Structure 1
């Protein structure tokens, strides 16, 4: 399968990480001497992505100017401004509608992950559904209370939410998305706002959301100073 496009959501302000720095945009925070976002870009390059779409919010022009040079010469960078950046991440993804070629990868601007996760997503044959990379190594999750929990039945997602009591996997924030995800997000809007989880929940209710186990692969959300310290320790897993 060829996946040519990827969307990275980086419209948030990263307020939970401000204990570590207040002078640099979250995707540019150095991890092992490199900007955090550069690791995701490298993984997308290894997966064959040609165009990276970055959804940006406040100071988006400055952030885009700093991120664009991190791409390989054969890759294209496209910044998408989200005027409603204070709303949830489902609204951020909706701003990419009409700009991206499906199926496309989706990742968060504050996540580190091994490129093998993208390989597992590309190995899926049903790209008409949403494919969400999930981690079943629940004991290894750094901040389980804040993690997005997932309940599955075979490879179908049947429930998703941070407050789920019964779950068997964790949402990694890495997706292979079909075009119809935008329709589901629009249907999920309440007061012109929605989260990605709202869209996934609606897709799951109609049997259109699949869980893809990442196996032994590593990923890390970098959302607090403690997570940043953990990421620094583990970043050697991510080889350029």
Structure 2
């Protein structure tokens, strides 16, 4: 299966650490490489990466990562990387075959989360989102998190940064079908900005947005210096296979 990794944005809050958010090192390994390695461990065989800010630098790094790890990495450059993240999904999805694992370049996941997500495909859903019901998780920044409200069956009713009440936090990993990119297009046609959450809400309104509870598995969003410091401390313990032989343990 393919993975689609969104890596186009500026990442202003990490700019003091690295000129490129996806190339920000955690224990000496770039975030984008950690994501690719964890996806490979979970069973992904090809990776599409949407680039934008510092695209030349990121794409050069991707070529090196592809060679070293022995996996095909396909860069897709977004002309206007200031657009909402749904535009990256639409651009990258054109290069994916069928369903795909969708990941954010600044998120890290235990491979078990991703492996379980890859097995969640079913004809009654257009997307499945990994969610964490630990809404008080100290690794989650409540001011930046995307929240999820669900029905009793775990289907998404509402998703966004400002919804209330909510039941869980969006972990930033999805098993997507071609319906997701189409839903983002529908949202734009309806006057929305084209964020990923806009498309997710379209699918939620159709009863096509499912969730997968990660239970007590580990993940985090590396979005600012505080999170980066925590990642440096915690990632080698939870993502040991990604750091093996690279000086990260």
TM-score, normalising length from structure 1? 0.92
Q: How many residues align?
A: 235
Aligned to 1:25: 20
**Farther off after superposition, 170-179 or 54-63:** 54-63
In 1, the alpha carbon distance for the partners of 2:192 and 2:136 equals: 36
Where 1:143 maps in the other structure, the secondary structure is coil
In 2, the alpha carbon distance for the partners of 1:70 and 1:138 equals: 34
Aligned to 2:87: 91
Kept in 1, the 8 Å contact 2:107–2:222? The answer is: yes
**Farther off after superposition, 64-73 or 112-121:** 64-73
2:51 pairs with 32, 50, 56, which one? 56
Over residues 152-206 of structure 1, what are the superposed CA-to-partner deviations in whole Å (9 max), with x where a residue is unaligned? 1122011111111211100011000001111101001166831000000010000
Aligned to 2:35: 40
Q: How does 1:207-222 map to 2 (within 5 A)?
A: 207-222=207-222
* Structure 1 spans left out of the alignment, 5+ residues: none
Aligned to 1:110: 106
* Structure 2 spans left out of the alignment, 5+ residues: 242-249
Kept in 2, the 8 Å contact 1:6–1:49? The answer is: yes
Q: How does 1:158-237 map to 2 (within 5 A)?
A: 158-189=157-188, 193-236=193-236, 237=238
Query: Shift of the alpha carbon at 1:99?
Result: 1.1
Query: Shift of the alpha carbon at 1:125?
Result: 4.2
Q: Runs of at least 4 residues of structure 1 off by over 4 A?
A: none
Cα RMSD (Å): 1.6
TM-score, normalising length from structure 2? 0.89
Aligned to 1:132: 129
In 2, the alpha carbon distance for the partners of 1:60 and 1:125 equals: 32
Where 1:93 maps in the other structure, the secondary structure is helix
